Amino acid sequence: MLPIHTIQSITLQRGDGRNLRYVLQLRDPMDNDPFIILADDKFAHNTFADHPHKGMQTVTYVLEGSLTHYDSKTGGGVRLAEGDFQIMTAGRGIIHNENPDPGEEVRVLQLWVNLSSDNKKQPSNYQDLPHDSAPVKAIDGGQVTVFAGDVDGTTSPLALLTPFIFAEVKLEKGARYEFPVNAGFNTYLYGLDGEFSINGEALKAFDTVHFDITENEDVIVIEATEDATIVVFSGEPIKEPVIAQGPFVMNTQEEINEAFASYRNGTFLEGVPY
């Protein structure tokens, strides 16, 4: 069994039109590597205005409701409905917003995935995976939906710059599953619904687990004491310096300062107006 490093119960924060749980916070970016943050975020229309990103990817999984993305890359709106998944590569720079319809709310998981110094230079792009196109692995008493990466031979069609896995595990009460973890990957688990145990530790919805990184392949033993839904995200550490401030994730403070300066002076998108 993959050893547990820490267990936390994630508290709800309310304000500014949001119901927010920070599953993964930016305390020690090298401890999170290759991830930056994970937010379980429920928000209303016009919570987010147009804003930039650079040097990372946003990974969005819609849990409830729907939203529309507008951005400097596509110019139009990309609509994500409940169960849909998206990887947005900010790369060398993008400006976007994300909005539910007026009068509506949306709940998403948003994971920020870091990019290597070379991949921070990539042009921005989107990859969308509708829920009905996501590969599903049937298991005894449940299923595993693989949105990114590969889980036990079931592989997402999305191309990855930073190797990582994002999967949702649904188990009926009494079911058990051994979730495989790659050697050297940094692995987290977050409970969305129900009650369950991880390697014998009793947990519930909104609990999160951070596991030790090991040199060998291993498994997480998940047992559902009630019907349960769990998200597992696991990635290969990049092992480069990380400076994350606001919407930018770079390798040095100088690069961060340059990103803010270019956004203010209108050269952020290489001089292209937005």
Contact 238, 34 (CB under 8 A): yes
Decide if pLDDT at 274 tops 60. no
Tell me what pLDDT residue 271 has.
Answer: 61
Domains 10-133 and 135-236 share a fold: yes
- The one-letter amino acid at 249: V
Decide if pLDDT at 140 tops 90. yes
Decide if pLDDT at 149 tops 90. yes
At 245-268, the pLDDT tens digits run 999 999 999 999 999 999 999 889
| Distance between CA atoms of residues 169 and 244, nearest Å | 30
5 is in an annotated binding site: no
53 is in an annotated binding site: yes
Query: For residue 34, is the peptide bond before it cis, meaning its omega torsion is within 30 degrees of 0?
Result: yes
What value does the mean pLDDT take over residues 190-209?
A: 98
User: Which two tokens mark 207?
Assistant: 């609990």
98 is in an annotated binding site: yes
CATH topology assigned to domain 135-236 = Jelly Rolls (2.60.120)
Tell me what pLDDT residue 263 has.
Answer: 92
What share of residues in the chain are helix, strand, coil (percent, to 5)?
10, 55, 40
Decide if pLDDT at 87 tops 90. yes
What value does the mean pLDDT take over residues 185-190?
A: 98
Q: Where are the alpha helices (DSSP H) in the chain?
A: 29-32, 253-265
User: Which two tokens mark 167?
Assistant: 């999967």
Decide if pLDDT at 272 tops 70. no
Domain ranges of the chain: 10-133, 135-236
* pTM, entire model: 0.95
At 235-247, the pLDDT tens digits run 999 999 999 999 9
Burial of residue 131 (number of CB atoms within 10 Å: 0-12, 13-18, 19+): middle
Tell me what pLDDT residue 32 has.
Answer: 96
- Of residues 46 and 120, more confidence is placed in 120
96 is in an annotated binding site: yes
Superfamily holding 10-133: Jelly Rolls (2.60.120.10)
Nearest alpha-carbon partner for 224 in 253, 202, 206:
202
Dihedral, 177, 32, 53, 148 alpha carbons, nearest 10: -20
Task: Give me the phi and psi of 258, to 5 degrees please.
Answer: -65, -40
C-beta contacts of 242-246 below 8 A and 24+ residues apart: 242/29, 242/30, 242/33, 242/36, 242/114, 244/26, 244/29, 244/36
Lowest-confidence pick of 25-34, 141-150, 218-227: 25-34
Decide if pLDDT at 75 tops 70. no
- Of residues 160 and 126, more confidence is placed in 160
pLDDT bucket at 109, cuts 50 / 70 / 90: very high
